[in-house]
Amino acid sequence: MAVTRDDYISLLSALLPPGPAWSPDDPAVKGAAPSLLRVHQRADALMHEIDPRTTTELINRWERIAGLPDECIPEGTQTIRQRQRRLDAKLNLAGGINEAFYLAQLEALGKKGATITRYIKSPFKCISPCTEVVDSPEWRYYWQVNMPASVDVNAMTCTDNCASPLRWWGDTVVECVLTKLCPSHTYVVFKYPE
């Protein structure tokens, strides 16, 4: 329920001493009510600033505390909503090196629906079933992030230089963040939909 100017007039009137000296129609009471209402509304607005997911005015301070922007995101390239998501993902980092942890990070970075594929832990042997994948032992250190279908795909244009690829895709922010968070003995591979 929103507080109005009339609410503050009635509150101030209730604080006045009884008697004929003051009335609710007094200009001092009516004049103080709008100022108190603005203070109340400002306090309500500042309550959104204590949460990194909703902050707008204090986002620069929040980012400075969290060490953002970092090498994953060039400064000035993100919208407020993207900055809030990245800030939330970094500040509310619960820790862990399991699949649920990385899926939560992907969701916080706006990639809801991403999945993780872990490669087989052991190499193919003579006694392995015929349907088993033939992998070298090094593949046990790799894991794959399967990105959802909502990924930008960029194509070469006439204004690009000759060294540009014909087509490229990927979310460099998500790739950088997950690469920084992955265990040091593992490698993460990103798979994008066709």
Q: Give the pLDDT confidence score for residue 61 in this predicted structure.
A: 92
Q: Give the pLDDT confidence score for residue 132 in this predicted structure.
A: 64
Q: Give the pLDDT confidence score for residue 131 in this predicted structure.
A: 63
Q: Determine contact, residues 180/72, Cβ cutoff 8 Å.
A: yes
- Collapsed DSSP state (helix, strand, coil) of residue 173: helix
Q: Give the pLDDT confidence score for residue 10 in this predicted structure.
A: 85
Q: Give the pLDDT confidence score for residue 15 in this predicted structure.
A: 84
What distances in angstroms separate CA 45 from CA 50, 53, 95, 103, 122, one per listed residue? 10, 14, 31, 32, 55
Q: Give the pLDDT confidence score for residue 38 in this predicted structure.
A: 92
Residue 51: closest CA among 25, 88, 12:
88
Q: Give the pLDDT confidence score for residue 115 in this predicted structure.
A: 92
Tens digits of pLDDT across the chain (194 residues) = 688 888 888 888 888 887 777 777 788 888 888 999 999 989 988 888 888 888 999 999 998 988 888 887 777 778 888 888 888 878 877 777 788 888 988 888 888 889 998 876 666 677 777 766 666 667 778 889 998 876 666 777 888 888 877 777 777 788 888 888 888 888 898 888 87
Q: Give the type of residue at 191.
A: K
User: Going by DSSP bridges, is the β-strand pair 115-118/142-146 parallel, antiparallel, or unpaired?
Assistant: antiparallel
Phi, psi angle pair for 9, to nearest 5°: -65, -45
